[in-house]
Each structure stands twice: as C-alpha cells, then as structure tokens.
Structure 1
Amino acid sequence: MQFSEWSLLLLLMKLANYTAIAALAGTLLIRFISHFHLNGNQHTAFLYFLKHWQIKCLMVGLIAAVLQTPIEAGAIAESGFMGMLDRPMLEIVWYSVIGEQARLRIVSFLVALMVASLWNVKAENNNAEKFNFALMLIIAALIAYSFSITGHSANENALVKSILTFHLAALACWIGALWPLLKSCTLLIKTDVEKIMHHFGQMAIIIVVVLLVSGLALLQQYLHSFSALFTSTYGQLILLKLLLVSAMLLLGAWHKLFLVPNINRQRYFETLKGSIAVEMVIALFVLITTSVFTTLVGPPI
C-alpha cells in the first residue's frame, strides 16, 4: 500500500462522504422515531437541532462531491496540485465512472440541502412534511448507492451492489444516530430520552441483522478463502472493522439492557452520556478504517 499526499486527500474525501451519509441516515432515523414518540416544545427544539446538523453535514458532503473530480484528476496526473486544474485530465475523469459518481452525489446533496431547508419542524404531522421525509429517504438511498459505482463493487452485478448499499445504509443509520442520541440527553427531558433510546434499541436489532447478513455476503464475495482474513492487508482491516463494530455492539447492548432502564437515576444517566460519547469515538475509527480499505487497499486477488 503506497501512501502519498493524494492518498491522504482521497482518504479525507471518502471520510467526508461517509460522514455525510451517516449524518443524513442517522438524523432520518431519529426523526422517524421522534415523529411517533415525542411531542411538546422540547421536541420542537430537538427537531431544530436535527435540521441544522443535517444541513451542516450535507454541506460537507456537497463540498467533498465537488472536489472529487479535481482530486481524482490530480491523483492520476501525478503532476503536483496543478494537476487538479489539468483540463484534459478533468474531462477524462468527469466522463468516467468517477465523474458519474460525482455527478450523482452533487445533484443528490444539492437537492437534499433544499429539502432539508424546507423541512418545517413545527408541522411534522402534515402531508407536506411526510413528503419531505420520504423525499429525503430516497435521496439518502441514492447517495448510499453511489458508493457502489466505483471501487471494489464497480464491476459487480446489481445484487452485489444492492447488498453493499444496504450494508452501508445500515451502518450509516447506526453511526449517524449517535450524535443526535447524545444531544437528546441535553435537549430533552429524561422520559423522552428514555423513549428515544428504547425505540432506537428496537430499531438497532434490525440494523445489526442487516449488517451481519450483508457483511457476510460481501466477505464471501471479496475474500475467496478464510485465510485471506489473516494474511492479506484487506482482510486484516476487515477484522479491525469487525472488532470495532463488535465493541459498539457490546456498548449498545449495555445501554439497552442496563443503562436505559435505569435512566431516571442520575448516576446511570451520566454514565449513558459518557458511554455514547465513547461509542462515537469507536464509530469514527470504523469510518476511518472503512475509508482506508475502500480507498487505498483492494481485495486480495
């Protein structure tokens, strides 16, 4: 694995894209839970937070999408940072699958920003806001699908691309929900926090099942032998990701089975906030690890 300034830029770009889709998916999940289980002024303040956080992360995603073509062109040209402005190389990249991916993301993030800005948090029960949520859900699915256009799955069939999309969407929902869950501990009363945590725990069971099934299917697709998990750099990074996700799973189980049922006791409430913060740090390393093996490392041949 060779590392250069271009590798770092490509890695940061991929991390920004992962962060944006995670924030979008996570806020949509918490918005869905809040719609059915919360009400009142504090609920409105929490929804305002979700809206503003979503817009900020979508802007990060849009910037990364705009920069994708010039960074990829510069990395291919290998002629210094002026290679990012090389018109012939820019045209080659723009009309390749990389450009196709960039165009889909740019349009998706632009539309998502408009839809997020039009979200009226005080009117969550009317048809316009339900349409707003449904449209944002479609956009999130398109952004998640964009990751299958390039990279390891670029030449795979529609089934493999669909599995990768579901895997990424499930992981994004889980990771992206952590910051809103932590903020709920300061913006909502404890009874509402308990409701959100409880219903997120129920949704997390579905998320974990999707992650496990899709993850095993992808492992079978990209690793043709069990030993490759230990002998290849790609396999070792997969193992690291599995270890990190397992740590998140253990923390999630601790929250669901012990901390949330005792949330009315201040000591456990503070412990819950600290534990979610730790889970967020682990989630960041999951995104970094995923960015590394999808950007710099390929599956063993």
Structure 2
Amino acid sequence: MISEYWMWATWLTKVILYLSVAFVVGGAFCYFLLRQYLELKESILKYITIGAGLGLISSTLGFFILIGSFANTGITGMVDPTYINILVNTPTGYIYVLRSISFALLLLLMVVKLNRNKGHFSIIESSIFCVLLLPIIFSFSQLGHVANLTLLAQILLSIHILVMSLWMGSLYPLWKTSREISGLPLKDRMHVFGRIAAFIVGILIACGASVALLLIKDFNTLINTAYGYGFMVKMFFVIGILLLAAFNKWYFTPRLQHPKFAKHLSHAILFEILLGLSILLTTGYITTVVGIE
C-alpha cells in the first residue's frame, strides 16, 4: 500500500467512528424519549449495541492503520511491533487505547443489558454509560488540528460532536417510530423531539461556527484551498438538513394525526438521514484526506 491508500483507509474508519458515536448518543437519547413504547425499546438497545461495536472496530482499526502508515511496508506493517511500541507510548496512542477500551466496556454493558432482557436502565447503569461515553466524546478534541488549539476550542468541539451525534443518531429511531406508532402518540413524541432539537441546533451552530472561525483564520483559506472548498460543500449539506428539519417540524409534525402525513414524514426522515451521512462523509474527507493548510 502507498500512503494515499492509508489516508483513504483512515477516512473510512473516521466515518465509521462518527456513525458509531451517533448510534450510541442518539440511541441513548431516543431510548429515554420513547421509553413508554416497549415495542421500540429492544430495537433501540440493539441500535446502541451496534454503535458500540462499530466504535470498537473503528477505534482499534484506526490505531493499526496509523501504525501501517508509519511503517509503510504494506498490510503487515499494521502489526509492526516497533511502531506499535512507539505509538502506544505517545499522547496519540493513549487516546486510541482509551477510546478503544471505552467502546469495549460500553459494548460489554450493552450486551449484558440485552441478555438480561431488562429494558429499564438503572441509575448505576446510566452513570456507567455516561462515564464511558465522556472520554469517547473528548477524544475527538485530542486528535487532529483542534488538539493544538486552546482548551476552550477543544471543549467547543467536544460539545459540537456530542450534539451532532445526538441529532444524527436520533434519525433512525425516529424513522422507525414513524412506522411503528401513529396518530396523536406519534405527533406528541415528534413535537417533544422538535422542541429539544431547536435547542440542540442552536448549540450545534454556535459551537461549530466558533471552531470553524478558530481553524479558518482568513477568507483566502475558505476560497483558495481544498479544505475551504470541502467546508463549503459541508455547509451546503448542513443548510439542506436544517431546512428539511424545519419543514418536518413546522409542516409535518402538526398534521401527524393523519396517517398519510406520517408516511410522508417517514420519507422525509430517510432523506434527512442521507443528508446527515453526506455531512459525515464530507467532514471525514476534509479532516483526513485534505486537511487544513
């Protein structure tokens, strides 16, 4: 493999990592949002479990891909003991190891939860879940360009990742909800989500814009670099998903007592999922393949 292949492999693992965190955070949020619907609980728990599993795979694979890119001797370089020993004793290596351990313990927690067939999360289980999630979220600020910025910038990015994951990860459970329940119960849950989402979007935009201003220091970077072009493409998708979310909230949600509008909402959420995936793919591309110049 040449270095370009390692770069694309890193991009793929990063996108999977984004998805895994979205599954876990959004799934956990929807678990509590929809806790009265027993028919949805098990599927949401499985959704979170899949996210934890994907996170463990992407974190572990990302570590060995980084080793392979350093060794640059082909696939066998991914297990080069010399480079493993070097990387594992660096701050970057610590972050990869901590993230992998957190996902592994989170996966164990979810597997035990599913096997016990107990839908309700106890206070202890919820606390363990949150404790394991915190280092995963904060790890994003310790790798990449933001790691060289101030603590405030790192905190802003961590909050941005958290609320982004909550929103994106909620889309599949909400799509499933639109197909499993109907009428006034569906309208009520979507109305509650819409109110929370309005607050989430505000935080998302504020934190995202702040981090972007810290990274993109002048207008020339935005219009004359590959990173800037990619960032503008990402903003195009972001504006699209915001407009669609607003349309869902103000047009479909008030009419969900009628079955036909529930079906239309289901299709709209699928399109929102597609836009969300496009955002994650673009974000992974500009932070991995391109990088800020």
By the TM > 0.5 criterion, same fold?
Answer: yes
Separation (CA, whole Å) in 1 of partners of 2:237 and 2:23: 19
Does the C-alpha gap of structure 1 residues 48 and 177 become closer, same or farther in structure 2, counting only changes over 3 Å?
Answer: same
In 2, Cα distance between the equivalents of 1:271 and 1:115? 36
By how many angstroms is 1:132 displaced? 2.0
For 1:224, what is the secondary structure of its paired residue? coil
Looking at structure 2, the residues matched to 32 and 237 of structure 1 have their Cα atoms a distance apart, in angstroms, of 36
Name the structure 2 match of 1:10. 10
> After superposition, where does 1:6-155 map in structure 2 within 5 Å?
6-35=6-35, 39=36, 43-119=37-113, 122=118, 124=120, 129-155=122-148
Separation in 2, partners of 1:70, 1:3: 14
Deviations 1:79-123 (A, max 9, x none): 111111211012122222331121111111122112223447755
* Distance (whole Å) between structure 2 residues aligned to residue 26 and residue 140 of structure 1: 12
2:170 and 2:81 mapped to 1: Cα distance?
40
C-alpha distance in 1 between matches for 2:257 and 2:251: 12
Q: Deviations over 1:211-237 (max 9, x none)?
A: 111112112211111232221211221
| Aligned residue-pair number | 290
Q: Which moved more, 1:164-173 or 1:95-104?
A: 95-104
State how far apart, in whole Å, the 2-side matches of 1:92 and 1:132 are. Answer: 36
Larger mean CA deviation between 181-190 and 252-261 belongs to 181-190
Q: Does 1:241 align with 2:239?
A: no
Cα distance between partner residues in 1 of 2:3 and 2:87? 21
Q: What's the CA shift string for 1:221-258, capped at 9, x where partnerless?
A: 11111232221211221111111111111111111111
Contact 2:52 2:103 (C-alpha < 8 Å) held by counterparts: yes
1:138 deviates by 3.1
Shift of 1:149: 1.3
Identity over aligned pairs, percent = 26
Contact 1:28 1:133 in 2 (8 A): no
Measured after TM superposition, the shift of residue 73 of structure 1 is 0.8
Question: What is the alpha-carbon distance in structure 2 between the residues aligned to residue 135 and residue 203 of structure 1?
Answer: 24
Q: TM-score, normalised by structure 2?
A: 0.93
SS state at 1:79 partner: coil
**Distance between the aligned counterparts of 2:183 and 2:109, measured in 1?**
31
| Corresponding position of 1:161 | 154
Give the 3 Å change call, closer, same or farther, for CA 10–112 of structure 1 in structure 2.
same
Contact residue 146 and residue 153 of structure 2 kept, 8 A = yes
1:288 to 281, 288, 291: 281
Secondary structure class of the residue paired with 2:160: helix
Deviation at 1:135, TM superposition (A): 2.7
Quote the Cα distance in structure 2 between the aligned partners of 1:32 and 1:137: 14
Give the structure-1-normalised TM-score.
0.91
2:142 partner SS = coil
Q: Which consecutive unaligned segments of at least 5 residues does structure 2 have?
A: none
Residue in structure 2 matched with residue 204 of structure 1 by the alignment: 197
Counterpart CA distance in 2 for 1:73 and 1:227 is: 34
Q: Which residues of structure 1 form unaligned runs of 5+? A: none
Q: What's the CA shift for 1:17? A: 0.8
Deviation at 1:146, TM superposition (A): 0.7
Q: Take 2:248 and 2:83, find their aligned partners in 1: how far apart are those partners?
A: 51
Structure 2: how far apart are the matches of 1:215 and 1:7? 24
